[in-house]
């Protein structure tokens, strides 16, 4: 693992601990790796609370990656995760959002 990757992982761990999120180091690292270069670009590292972004998470991550299809209930779960991170929190890291969604749907085995 590169030094840059380790620095990003340390940021995500600090945020996880600060927010009291129950995410294992193993899952956090695995999802961070799965995001590749997205963690190094501000526009893809941080989740914006916009309709288009929510639809993208629903379709690409929950639907395609986790195989959950296009169920309207998924929107509700995405919003619950975003609320858990704090809607006013400007640093809603994609990694943490994805970790919480993976845990919510019991899909940890897809990553670890």
Which pair of tokens denotes residue 29? Answer: 């690292």
CATH number of 3-110: 1.10.238.120
CA distance 98 to 80: 12
| Segment-wise mean pLDDT, segments of 10 residues, the chain, 112 residues | 94 97 98 96 89 91 94 93 91 96 96 94
The structure's pTM equals: 0.94
Q: Give the start-to-end residue ranges of the domains of the chain.
A: 3-110
Q: What is the pLDDT of residue 48?
A: 84
Q: For 93, phi and psi rounded to 5 degrees?
A: -70, 130
């Amino acid at each position: 693992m590169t030094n840059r990757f380790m620095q990003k992982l340390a940021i995500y761990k600090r945020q996880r601990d600060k927010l009291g999120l129950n995410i294992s180091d193993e899952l956090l690292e695995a999802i961070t790796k799965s995001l590749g270069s997205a963690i190094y670009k501000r526009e893809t590292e941080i989740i914006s609370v916009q309709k288009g972004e929510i639809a993208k998470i629903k379709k690409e991550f929950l639907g395609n990656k986790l195989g959950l299809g296009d169920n309207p209930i998924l929107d509700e779960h995405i919003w619950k995760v975003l609320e858990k991170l704090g809607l006013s929190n400007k640093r809603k890291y994609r990694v943490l959002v994805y970790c919480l969604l993976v845990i919510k749907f019991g899909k940890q085995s897809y990553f670890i």
